[in-house]
Each structure stands twice: as structure tokens, then as C-alpha cells.
Amino acid sequence: MDQRLSHAPDAARDVPDDALLVSYANGDALAGREMVRRLSPILFGYATRVLQDRAEAEDVVQETMLRLWKIAPDWRQGEAKVSTWAYRVTANLCTDRLRKRRGSQINIDDVAEPKADLASAVEAMTDVARSEALTEALNTLPDRQRQAVILRHLEGVSNPDIAKIMDIGVEAVESLTARGRRALKTALSGRKEELGYSDDG
Amino acid sequence: MTDDPRDDAALDALFQAERTRRFEPTPDFMARLEADADAALPRSVSHPQPVLRRTSWLAGVFTASGLSGATLAGIWLGFAMPESFDAFSLLADSSVELTAFLPGADMGSLFDE
């Protein structure tokens, strides 16, 4: 498909991602800019949630987009979703950085057992405290679990797409997110006393 | 481990609240990404004209050339035909051609019968 958009920027918004990429590969600069506008905010949000660092998230997204431009001439329409491919590259780059940062993953067994029920703990928290609590709880998860949970519950990506992004089966995604949820409940319940709320007080 | 349904509801509420938090890239970062895209634009194609613009241009050329061609042809026929085309002389010449193709044919005897 040789659909150029330089003459009509507004028309670019209706063009599918893969057609845009092919158009970019054929020399259409505006198609590339439209891809940046579409993909970058999504990838940046995801990378920021995973890495908890805006500067690192920017590096990861920039690297992802550079790789996208590189493969653009070889992209075959209809074989894969561009967004899924980009998510996958971003996820892998995030994993690399997390591994370097941590050196080793935190085992789910290391997470503290709950000391109180989660529902009452969450109810007592302020919005900011809730966000911080969830972020910190997410950080206790092993990398793969965290990425699966973020993709599923915060980015709203479907399980089949997560399977493609993480290069695993759908059942493995379900298992990761289920274990992630259990671990989060465990970690968050443990925060009840930490935040000053307990069953008897 | 908590299997209390209320804990699941609480966790979902946390997710819901967190989803409303947006992490927007800065304009500077977006500009950097656009500059990267421009710099990596495939060099094999030297910024060709958009297809639609090019086809529109071609359509215009064909339309204009078609109209003007037809007009010129009409004008030429108008001027050239009277001199080079004489319908009566063509009719007269045709009998010559006929006898040439049918040697021995006597056109006069045909009419006599």
C-alpha cells in the first residue's frame, strides 16, 4: 500500500497502523510523525509504570521507535499488529533494565503474608496513598508478573495480545496475572499496619 | 493469602483509580521522537509526491490534453478537409479502382441487361 499522507494530515488519523508504517517506509515523513503521535504516549505510559522512572521510560520508548523505523521497510501488512510489536519491544527493554537494576528477581514467596484484610485497608487510604501503595506493591512482584498485571489491569490490553507481547501462551498470561493479583493483595494487606490502620485500631 | 471477594473488589478499585493517572510524554520528548523519525526516513525514496496529488495532477494533464487535442483536431479537419477530401472525386475514382480490380468487367453491359 502506497498511501501517502503529506497532503492531508487529518486523513492520517483514519489510516491503520500497518498502512502508516508502510507509507513511512515509502518515504512519507508525516506517516512517521503520526506513528509517533499514536504509539509513543501509550508506550511511555506503560514503560513509566513498569520502570517507575520517566527518564528511563523515555530511553526505552526512543529505542523502541528507532527499532520500528529500522524494520519499517521489511514490515509485512496483516502479519502482526504494530502496537503489539512495539509493546513487545518496550516490554523486553524494560525487562533488561529491571534485571540490570535489580540483579535478581524478588520471589513471590518472599512477599509477606497478609496481616489484615485488604478491603478495610484500602478504604482507609487517601487517593495518593492508594496510588503509592499500589505502585510499591507492584514493585514487589517479579518482573514478568508485574508486566502482565500492568498490561492487563492498567493498560487494558487483552490476554491474547499480552500473550503475543510477552511471547507466551494465553494460559500462561492468565496464570501470571492471577498470581500477580494474589501477590498484590498480600502485599497491600501488609501495608495496613504500616499505614497506621489495624484491625483493632 | 486472601481469598475474600471484598479484597478483589478493593484491588479492582485500586486499579481503576490508577488507570486514571496518565503519564504523558513531554513536548520536548515528542519532538525528539519526531526528529528521529525524520532522520531515519528511508533514503531510497527521495520524498516522492503524494499519490493522490500526483494522480490528480496526471488526471488534470490528461483531461486538459484530451480537450485541447479534440479541439485542435476539429479545427484541423475544418480547414484541411475541403481541400484534400473531395467526396465526388472519390466516387468517380472508385469506378476506376473497380475496373482495375475486375479486369474485363464491362460495367456498361451490366447496366444494359
pLDDT digits (tens, 9 = 90+) for A110-163: 444 444 566 666 665 666 777 888 888 998 899 999 999 999 999 999 999 999
What is the C-alpha to C-alpha distance for residues A61 and A54, in angstroms, rounded to an integer? Answer: 10
Domain ranges across chain A:
9-102, 108-194
Give me the sign of the Cα torsion angle B31, B35, B38, B40.
negative
Residues A114 and A186: their CA atoms lie apart, in Å, by 5
Separation in Å, CA of A28 to nearest CA in chain B: 7
Mean pLDDT value of segment A150-179: 95
Cell of B79: 480547414
CA distances from B78 to B64, B70, B81, B95 (A): 21, 12, 6, 28
Per-residue model confidence (pLDDT) at position A200: 44
Would A9-102 and A108-194 be classified into the same CATH topology? no
Q: Which residue has the higher pLDDT, A105 or A26?
A: A26
pLDDT at B86: 52
Average pLDDT over every residue of A162-167: 94
B22–A72 C-beta distance less than 8 A: no
CA distance A29 to chain B (A): 6
Say if CB A84 and CB A161 are below 8 A apart.
yes
Tell me the shortest Cα–Cα distance from B27 to chain A, in angstroms.
11
- Whether B52 contacts chain A with CB within 8 A: yes
pLDDT of residue A115: 47
Dihedral (Cα; A75, A79, A83, A87), 10-degree rounding: -90
Range of the domain at B35: 5-40+50-112
Q: Is pLDDT larger for residue B79 or for residue A183?
A: A183
DSSP string, A161-189: HHHHHHTS-HHHHHHHHHHHHHHHHHHHH
Ranges A45-49, A88-92, A195-199, B78-82: which has the least confidence: A195-199
CA dist., res. B39 & res. A69, Å (int): 10
More confident site: A14 or B96: A14
Could you tell me the fold of the domain covering A108-194?
A: Arc Repressor Mutant, subunit A (1.10.10)
**What is the reported pLDDT for A106?**
47
Q: What is the pLDDT of residue B14?
A: 86
Q: Can you list the residues of chain B whose pLDDT is less than 70?
A: 1-4, 44-70, 72-113
Which of A35, A60, A37, A38 has the alpha carbon at shortest distance from A47? Answer: A60
Whether complex ipTM tops 0.90? no
For A93, phi then psi, to 5°, come to -65, -40
**What is the chain A residue with the closest CA to B12?**
A153
Q: What's residue A117's pLDDT?
A: 60
Structural domain total, chain B: 1
Alpha helices in B4-105 (DSSP H): 5-19, 27-39, 51-84, 87-101
Q: How far apart are alpha carbons A108 and A141 in whole angstroms? A: 7
pLDDT above 80: residue A74: yes
Alpha carbons B23 and A105: distance in angstroms, whole number: 25
- In sign, the C-alpha dihedral spanning A158, A174, B14, A88 is negative
Is residue A3 scored above 50 in pLDDT? no
What CATH class has A9-102? Answer: mainly alpha
Examine the pLDDT at A104 and tell me if it is beyond 70: no
The 10s digit of each residue's pLDDT in A16-73 is 999 999 999 999 999 999 999 999 999 999 999 999 899 999 999 999 999 999 999 9
Q: Quickly count: other Cβ atoms within 10 Å of residue A198's Cβ.
A: 14
Question: In the predicted model, what is the mean pLDDT of residues A68-81?
Answer: 89
pLDDT at A83 over 90: yes
Q: How many whole angstroms separate alpha carbon A79 and alpha carbon A160?
A: 15
The pLDDT value recorded for residue A184 is 92
Nearest chain B alpha carbon to A153:
B15
Model pLDDT, residue A188 = 84
Whether residue B41 and residue A32 make contact (CB cut-off 8 A), yes or no, is yes
What whole-number distance in Å separates Cα of residue B47 and Cα of residue B43? 8
